[in-house]
Amino acid sequence: MNEIETAFVKPFYRRMAGFGALRWADEMWADLTAAGRHVTQADVSWMLRTGHWRPEVMGAWFSLAVPAESITADLLPAMAGSRGSLTAGPLAVAAALVAGPDAVTAMTDYLTFILNRPDGSQFVVAAAVEHLGSDPVIDPTAAGRRQFQNLHEFAVRLREAFQPT
């Protein structure tokens, strides 16, 4: 395990995967936001490029701590290449906030992939596409919209907390 995994992945990934952030983040809020104030763009890029779900989950959340223009090129391929519910929600929310409408193509790529193996995450990602003002390739469910909205509100709060005080 390298230093990035030790500092930014291992302490958080289990509870921040999928929709876990909505349930567990308050419990580790102080540690998570402190880590976000120390993470670098290079750290986040590495997490998003690994191709492994644990670092990708945290790369999604920590992408909110670095300048958008420095991380979009790594965040969008991670979104497009997500392979399921452990990473799709966090990546979709982060991509929506960091890249805005530029994230729609990556989200659509994910939706096209996951339609062959639906796991519920497709409805959250479809809600993200809809949130960005585009028509998703599948209709989001009411539950998917609610989950996206809850994750989005959390992500906005987290991004604000990452800012230096």
Please give the residue range of the domain that contains residue 136. 3-162
d(CA 50, CA 109): 19
Taking only the tens place, the pLDDT of each residue in 91-137 is 999 999 999 999 999 999 999 999 999 999 999 999 999 999 999 99
134 DSSP 8-state letter: S
Taking only the tens place, the pLDDT of each residue in 10-33 is 999 999 999 999 999 889 999 999
C-alpha separations of 84 from 41, 56, 63, 156 in Å: 25, 12, 19, 23
Query: pTM for the complete prediction?
Result: 0.97
pLDDT the model gives residue 164: 77
27 DSSP 8-state letter: G
Q: What is the domain count for the chain?
A: 1
